[in-house]
A and B are shown apart, each in its own frame.
Chain A
Amino acid sequence: MVKSVIYSIKSPYRQSMDIVGYTFGDGENPEKSCCIIGALRGTEIQQMAICAQLVDALKRLETKGCIAKNKSVTVIPCANYYSMNIGKRLWTMDNTDINRMFPGYDSGETTQRIADGLFKGIKDYVYGIQMTSFYLEGEFLPHAKIMEIEDPKVTGKGIGENLADFGLPYGLIRKPRPYDTATLNYNWQIWGCRAFSLFTTYTERIGAKSAQTAANAVLRFLIANGILNHSLHKGSHTRVLNEDEIRHVHTRGAGIIKKRVSVGDEVGEGDLLCEIMHPLEGNIIDRIISPIDGTVFFSYDKQLVMERTDIFKIIPFGL
C-alpha cells in the first residue's frame, strides 16, 4: 500500500487539508485499474466509512498477493474533511459543492481548485466508483448507477453491462441532466473512464450492514473485472433498468408522515403507503396509495413533508 497526498489546500486558521489516497498493487508502472472515492461532502460519513473498510480489506488482500499482476486500485476515503470536522455538508467557507465543480479549474476558487487537483489525480483510471449521497434525505435500496453518455471512448461495452458486476439488486442507467455535467462521474465518463455511483442506504448514520454490502459490492466488481484475485459470494442478481422507469410518488398535502411501508417492501397497486396527519390537529388529511405493483426502492425519512415531496420511489415488478 502506498499512501499519498492527491491534493492539498491551505487555510488561514487550520492545518492544511490533505486529500489522501491509498494505492494497492505493485509492479512496474501498473495499469490504473480502479479508483474508489468516498466523501466529497461533509455529511457523507457512511461513504467515507465504506472506503475505510475497503482500505482495511485491501491491505489484507494485498499482503496475501490478491491484487492482480500489473493492476492497481486507489481508494480516496474523504476529499472534504474540513466540512466534516465542523458538521457542514458543503464547503466550509462559501457553501459550494465540490461535486458541482468538475472538471475543476486550477486558477479558480478553492473548490474549483480542489476539483481540478483531485480530477488530475484520478482521471486516468479505467474504472471509477463514487460512493454517493442523494440530496433528498431518505433510505434507498443499495444500487449502482451509470450515466448514459454518448462518447466514442466508452463504447465497446453496453452502457449497463458492468452494472451487474456489483451484485447489488438494482443497476440504474441515468440520462444526464444539465446539472450533472459538473459532477465527478460525468467528467470521469467524458474522459473515458467507466464511472459508477454506488448509493447506500444511509448518509450521515453508518449502517453497518449497508456499509458491508457496499464494500463487498466494490470487491465483487474488482474480482469480476480481473483486478482482484479473491473469492466472494456472488451477491444478488442485478436488475438493470432506466432511471425513468421508476415511479415517483408525491405527497399532495403537507404535514406529519405516518408511514405504512418501508424500503424493500413489496406493495400492490392500491395499497396504503402512508398517511399524512394534520400537524396541529391530528386528523388524517391525506392517504397515499401505491400507483403500481412493485418494490419500494426509496423512502423519504423525515418526519415532516411539504406538498409535492417525492416520498416514495417504486420499482415496478419485472415482466
Chain B
Amino acid sequence: MIKTVSTAALPVTENLIIQKNRVENNAGGKRVCIVTGTHGDELEGQYVCARLAKLLSDEKRKLSGTVDIYPALNPLGIDSIIRGFPMFNLDMNRIFPGSSSGSLAEAAAHDIISDIEGADMCVDIHSSNIFLREIPQVRISEQTEKELLPYALKLNADLVWIHAAATVLESTLAHTLNARGVKTLVVEMGVGMRITSDYCEQLLTGILNLLRELGVWSGEAGEARNPVISKDRSVGFVNSDAAGIFIPKTVHGSYVKSGEVIGSVLDPLTGVVVEDALSPCDGLLFTLREYPVVFGGSLLARIMGVERDG
C-alpha cells in the first residue's frame, strides 16, 4: 500500500511528496523500515527497494509483520541529480530530527522521523559518491556497536566498519533513530549515479536474512557471508599528492600487499606517470577511486588491514 509520509507545496502548482510502500501481513508483528535516497546522487538503494517491494508483495504470505520501504527521502534531489535538498544547499542527512515548525526541508525531516519512530529496525542504504567505489559495508558507531553488530552481521556485507562518533554526525537520520530506540544500520556500497546489480542482490539477500532473524520473513534468504570487521584493524588511506588522471592497476574488493601499486596518476599532457599510488599495508581494498580526474589530495583508495588467511 502506497502511503504519503510528507507533503508540501512548491511555488508553482506542484507538491513535494515523500512516499513509502507498506507491505504487511499480520500487522501485530515487528516493523522494519528500509530507507534510501537521502542523497540525490546515490542510486544503489533504488534497485534494492524495487526488488524488495516486488518480492515481498509477491510472497506476502511468508511475511509476518510490516516492512515499510522508502525509496526516496529526497525525491526532488533524485529527480534532478542534486545530492542535497534542492533550493536549500543543505545535506539532508545533516538536518535530522528536523522540526515541525521549521523550513520545508526541516519539516520533511521531522515527518520522516515521526513516520519511522516506533519501528523495530531500520536499514538506511547509501551509495558512495561518484568518485569512489565501495564494497558493500555496514557502518555503525562505537556507541551502538554492542547493540547493532549482531544485526549488521546478518546483512551479507563484505565489511562492517565501526567508526568513532563525531558531533557533526548527530544530525544524521541513523543517529537520530538510534537515539530514539529504532535500531538503525547504515549501509554504504557501490558508486554514485550508478546501480551495481551484484551488490544490490547481495544486500537484498542480507535484508531478507535480517527479516528472517527478526521473525518477519519465513521465505528463502540464503546464507549471510562473514564480513571483515574493522575493530582493532588499521585503515590505510591512499591519497594522491599529484594532480592528473588516475588509472587503477588493481581489482576493487581484492586483497593487496603492502607496497603494491594500486594505480597510477598520469599527466594527460605528457603521459608521464606523476605518481604511483602504493598500498600502505596488507589488506582488503575496500574503497577504490572510480572518477579519473584527481587533484592534489584526492582519495584514491582505502585498505582495511587484514592478514590474508582465508
Which A residues have a C-beta under 8 Å from some C-beta of B? 9-13, 89, 93-95, 100, 107-110, 112-114, 135, 177-179, 181-182, 250, 253-256, 279-280, 304-310
Partner of B104, one of A12, A94, A279, A309: A309
Task: Determine if B104 and A306 form an interchain contact, defined as CB atoms under 8 angstroms apart.
Answer: yes
A-B CB contact pairs (8 Å), 29 listed: A10-B296, A12-B243, A94-B131, A100-B168, A107-B237, A109-B297, A110-B296, A112-B297, A113-B296, A114-B297, A135-B88, A177-B171, A178-B167, A178-B170, A178-B171, A181-B167, A182-B168, A250-B103, A254-B12, A255-B11, A255-B12, A279-B12, A280-B13, A307-B104, A308-B8, A308-B102, A308-B103, A308-B107, A309-B104
CA distance A100 to B94 in the complex (A): 11
- B101's nearest neighbour on chain A, judged by CB, is A250
* Any A CB within 8 A of the CB of B129: yes
* Any A CB within 8 A of the CB of B195: no
* Any A CB within 8 A of the CB of B228: no
What sequence of 0s and 1s flags, for each residue 274-310 of chain B, a beta carbon within 8 Å of any chain A beta carbon?
Answer: 0000000000000000000111111100000000000
Known A12-B268, A177-B171, A310-B103; contact A93-B293, beta-carbon cutoff 8 A = yes
Would you give the shortest CB distance from A229 to chain B, in whole angstroms?
A: 41
Task: Determine if B89 and A306 form an interchain contact, defined as CB atoms under 8 angstroms apart.
Answer: no
> Across the interface, which residues of A come within 8 angstroms of B1, CB to CB?
none
* Any A CB within 8 A of the CB of B133: no
* Any A CB within 8 A of the CB of B90: yes
The B1-58 residues at the A interface (CB cut-off 8 A) are: 8-13, 16
- B170's nearest neighbour on chain A, judged by CB, is A178
Which B residues have a C-beta under 8 Å from some C-beta of A? 8-13, 16, 83, 87-90, 94-95, 101-104, 107, 129, 131, 166-171, 237, 239, 242-245, 267-268, 293-299
- A12's nearest neighbour on chain B, judged by CB, is B243
Task: Determine if B103 and A135 form an interchain contact, defined as CB atoms under 8 angstroms apart.
Answer: no
Would you give the shortest CB distance from A112 to chain B, in whole angstroms?
A: 7
Not counting A108-B237, A254-B11, A279-B13, a sample of 7 additional A-B residue pairs whose C-beta atoms are within 8 angstroms of each other reads A100-B168, A107-B237, A109-B239, A112-B297, A304-B12, A306-B10, A306-B104
> Across the interface, which residues of A come within 8 angstroms of B297, CB to CB?
9, 108-110, 112-114
Would you give the shortest CB distance from A83 to chain B, in whole angstroms?
A: 13
Would you give the shortest CB distance from B159 to chain A, in whole angstroms?
A: 20
Q: Interface centre among B88, B294, B297, by most A CB within 10 Å? A: B297
For the complex of A and B, the 4 pairs showing the least CB-CB separation, nearest first, are A304-B11, A254-B9, A10-B296, A113-B297
Task: Determine if B94 and A10 form an interchain contact, defined as CB atoms under 8 angstroms apart.
Answer: no
Task: Determine if A309 and B103 form an interchain contact, defined as CB atoms under 8 angstroms apart.
Answer: yes
> Across the interface, which residues of A come within 8 angstroms of B131, CB to CB?
94
Task: Determine if B295 and A305 form an interchain contact, defined as CB atoms under 8 angstroms apart.
Answer: no
Would you give the shortest CB distance from A185 to chain B, in whole angstroms?
A: 14
- B90's nearest neighbour on chain A, judged by CB, is A135
Partner of A253, one of B9, B88, B167, B268: B9
Task: Determine if B293 and A12 form an interchain contact, defined as CB atoms under 8 angstroms apart.
Answer: yes
> Across the interface, which residues of A come within 8 angstroms of B10, CB to CB?
254, 306-307
Would you give the shortest CB distance from B263 to chain A, in whole angstroms?
A: 15
Partner of A109, one of B102, B167, B298: B298
> Across the interface, which residues of A come within 8 angstroms of B267, CB to CB?
12
Would you give the shortest CB distance from A263 to chain B, in whole angstroms?
A: 19
Known A94-B131, A181-B168; contact A306-B298, beta-carbon cutoff 8 A = no
Known A177-B171, A308-B8; contact A11-B13, beta-carbon cutoff 8 A = no
- B169's nearest neighbour on chain A, judged by CB, is A178
> Across the interface, which residues of B come within 8 angstroms of A94, CB to CB?
129, 131
> Across the interface, which residues of A come within 8 angstroms of B237, CB to CB?
107-108
> Across the interface, which residues of A come within 8 angstroms of B299, CB to CB?
108-109
> Across the interface, which residues of A come within 8 angstroms of B129, CB to CB?
94
Partner of A178, one of B94, B103, B295: B94
> Across the interface, which residues of A come within 8 angstroms of B166, CB to CB?
181
> Across the interface, which residues of B come within 8 angstroms of A112, CB to CB?
297
- B166's nearest neighbour on chain A, judged by CB, is A181
CA distance A309 to B169 in the complex (A): 25
> Across the interface, which residues of B come within 8 angstroms of A305, CB to CB?
11
Would you give the shortest CB distance from A314 to chain B, in whole angstroms?
A: 15
> Across the interface, which residues of A come within 8 angstroms of B102, CB to CB?
308
> Across the interface, which residues of A come within 8 angstroms of B94, CB to CB?
178-179
CA distance A250 to B243 in the complex (A): 46
> Across the interface, which residues of B come within 8 angstroms of A177, CB to CB?
171
> Across the interface, which residues of B come within 8 angstroms of A250, CB to CB?
101, 103
> Across the interface, which residues of A come within 8 angstroms of B103, CB to CB?
250, 308-310
Task: Determine if A9 and B12 form an interchain contact, defined as CB atoms under 8 angstroms apart.
Answer: no
CA distance A113 to B243 in the complex (A): 14
Task: Determine if B239 and A107 form an interchain contact, defined as CB atoms under 8 angstroms apart.
Answer: yes
CA distance A100 to B12 in the complex (A): 32
> Across the interface, which residues of A come within 8 angstroms of B88, CB to CB?
135
Would you give the shortest CB distance from B61 to chain A, in whole angstroms?
A: 41
CA distance A109 to B16 in the complex (A): 34
Task: Determine if B245 and A135 form an interchain contact, defined as CB atoms under 8 angstroms apart.
Answer: no
CA distance A95 to B81 in the complex (A): 12
